[in-house]
Amino acid sequence: MIPRQWREDFITSYVERHLPQQGITTAPILLRRFCTMLAHQQWATINLSKLAGSLGIDGKTARRHLDLLEGLYLVRSLPPWTRNAGKRLVKSPKVYWRDSGILHALAGLPTLDKLLGHPLCGASWEGYFLEQILGQLPQRRDRESLPHPRGCGGWIWFIEQPDGQVLAVEIKRTLSPKVTPGLTESMSTLGAEKAVIIIPEGESYPLSRTVTAPSLRHFLESTF
């Protein structure tokens, strides 16, 4: 069976059999739409009331669906940073599909060419990277380890290390990233002395006195 068909069958089995077995009474076609809408909002701070309204269900039902998907390890939500919270911090968790293949299937992206030309490409890339990072963290720190303050230049992630130091993490698809004002401001706001901008491949190199650009592989090997 080709991977694309396997992913489609996996999604179908969940919305038609596994989720209803967990007590979900929403029609399978609406469950599929719910999952698809989550896919198209990968990394968004989900407004469940608005999403529920577009499906004709109530907000509590949508919350239950989301909680169940998270409990089944299909989606993940990352909470906002809470220490020294400032005016730029978001209040809601960001939600994303943990498996890139399932995300692509739900979004109707069967090939690499389709993905590269789609607005979800960056979100897919970031989701894959963060899953690799979170997989290396001690289980007790998993959900608390990559909160998401919003700097003026985009989304910056933070890892609170065992010694209390904060490491800022930004993920880019380019091999030649730049230190943005958003990263610098976020580091200052939340007291991160060092930062990394993770790139797809290549050797690590410094971008400034406090910021380096490692590949994902090098970052995982040197950090955990």
Q: What are phi and psi of 183, to 5 degrees?
A: -65, -45
CA–CA gap between residue 213 and residue 120 (Å, rounded): 23
**49: left (phi > 0), else alpha (psi -120 to 50), else beta?**
alpha
Residues 95 and 173 in one domain: no
Burial of 158 (0-12, 13-18, 19+ CB in 10 A): buried
Q: Which domain holds residue 218?
A: 149-224
Structural element, H or E, at residue 29: helix 28-40
pTM of the model: 0.82
State pLDDT tens for residues 58-76.
999 999 999 999 999 999 9
Shared domain check, 123 and 16:
yes
Domain limit, last residue, from 106, 139, 172:
139
Q: Is residue 144 part of a domain?
A: no
Q: Are residues 25 and 84 in the same domain?
A: yes
Least confident range of 7-11, 105-109, 147-151, 193-197: 147-151
Does 185 lie in the same domain as 213?
yes
Q: How many domains does the chain have?
A: 2
pLDDT tens digits, 1-24: 468 888 999 999 999 998 888 888
Looking at the fold, whether 159 and 135 belong to one and the same domain comes out as no
pLDDT at 140 over 80: no
Q: Which two tokens stand for residue 220?
A: 């995982």
